[in-house]
Amino acid sequence: MSNCRVYRSAEFCGIDHKLVVATLWVHFKTPQQSNDHPSVFHLDWLRKGECACGFAEAISGRFTRLDSLTDPVLLWDTFKREMLDAAQDMIGVRLRAIQNFISQETLEATDACRAARLTGDRELHRSVRRTRSLLVRDKEQFIRSLAEEVEGHFIVNDLCPAYQALRKLNSKPSSQTTAVRLVSGQIVSDPVAVREHWAEYFEQLYQVDPPAVNLDAQSAETPLPDPPISEDPPSLTEVRGAISKLKSGKAAGICGIPAEQLKAGGELMARGLHAVLAAIWQYSSVPLDLLRGVVIPLWKGKGDRWDCSNHQGITLLSIQGKVLAHILLRRIRDHLLRHQRLKQSGFTPVLLWAVVGIYAEQKDKASTAVVALLITLIVASSLMFIARVIILFVRNRKNTFYKRSIM
């Protein structure tokens, strides 16, 4: 609303109403969409020792049902259901915070001002008309308290609450897009049609025609066969190590179980997840929740929000699937470090530590120094083994390039 003016001299049939002329901008609220994704739990309570112990005890009483199951799908469904039920009972769902910085004094002053205006008492109305100054004071106190909260969290290196407080100070709208523009130019706002269009867009985005010319591999040396990698089922020690490597503060996947719950469950949680992964390994049947990911389009901050090309997609993977992937990656990595040939120096820990050291010393020119180091090591290795060197720089544009062309 702007250009608001009250014409007190205008009278309408002896009534006490005043003529008001103003310019209004009407903003139609987007209809609330149904949330198909799981609920977000109040994970901050798991930092308290009592809540974490109670959650672990609740898990211990529920996971006894896993001992009588052998099918991996039934094991996973039971594991997931008991985990979510225990979190619902012990932690609770995190409600959406409403930023209400208006104090009770300001509300009482507003009510008194409104009552004086309705009764026609102009003297009282003028005396209590200080609502605007009270609102300014309340907002300044709210911003100051948030700034002190952010500073306190940064001092103790508690980054997650600090960035949550910074988001409260951000006045930019959410990056969620509720409408898209089709190829024909039509704008669609129906939730089902929007999801179908996003699925079609990402499916076309990751499809690229294969290269027309294949590389000549006849002159390449035949690689020696590597020793076999262990195919034993995942051990409990491996599951414990994979859970400890998970990063906290990450969004959960399609199953809705974050890493904080796996860590707070303790030993019984590791044993329950180990039973699920061992059954998956034995029967070679992976539940769909561990294979699927949720693709979320995020607006880049520029361009038309209805245009799909102005968004970039991120995929939320299952946390339990990450545990299994970490176990497999750990076995492959240990095998690679033990049995790799000298010509395959690659990104070994020694090279990575050298890159990290240069990055720490020269932060201003880190990218240039890292590239120079990599080229130097590659050229030195080629001179040592008298081998031809081909350096290929790949520009990843919208994540669309045919991977077989560089393998």
d(CA 293, CA 318): 7
User: Could you tell me whether strands 180-181 and 2-7 are parallel, antiparallel, or unpaired per DSSP bridges?
Assistant: unpaired
d(CA 7, CA 18): 6
Residue with tokens 């309340």: 138
The domains of the chain are located at 341-407
Dihedral of CA 160/80/326/391: which sign? Answer: negative
Contact 90, 43 (CB under 8 A): no
Taking residues 177-185, report their average pLDDT: 83
The band of 304, judged by pLDDT with boundaries at 50, 70 and 90, is: confident
d(CA 234, CA 329): 12
pTM: 0.66
Tell me the C-alpha to C-alpha distance, in Å, between residue 247 and each of 43, 244, 263, 269, 348.
14, 8, 10, 17, 23
d(CA 315, CA 295): 4
Q: Tens of pLDDT along 192-212?
A: 888 899 989 988 887 877 777
Contact 67, 286 (CB under 8 A): no
Instruction: Give the per-residue pLDDT at 210.
Output: 77
% of the chain surpassing 90 pLDDT:
10
Tell me the C-alpha to C-alpha distance, in Å, between residue 220 and each of 75, 226, 342, 387.
47, 17, 17, 11
Nearest to 75, CA basis, from 239, 319, 320: 320
% of the chain surpassing 70 pLDDT:
71
153-178 burial, b for 16+ CB within 10 Å, e for fewer? Answer: beeeeeeeebeebeeeeeeeeeeebe
Contact 323, 246 (CB under 8 A): yes
Cα 107 to chain centroid distance, Å, stands at 38
User: What count of other Cβ atoms lies within 10 Å of the Cβ of residue 52?
Assistant: 19
Q: What are the residue ranges of helices labelled H in 226-318?
A: 236-244, 259-264, 266-283
The 3-state DSSP class for residue 304 equals coil
The radius of gyration of the chain's CA atoms, rounded to the nearest angstrom, is 30
Q: Tens of pLDDT along 105-118?
A: 888 887 887 787 77
Instruction: Give the per-residue pLDDT at 224.
Output: 65
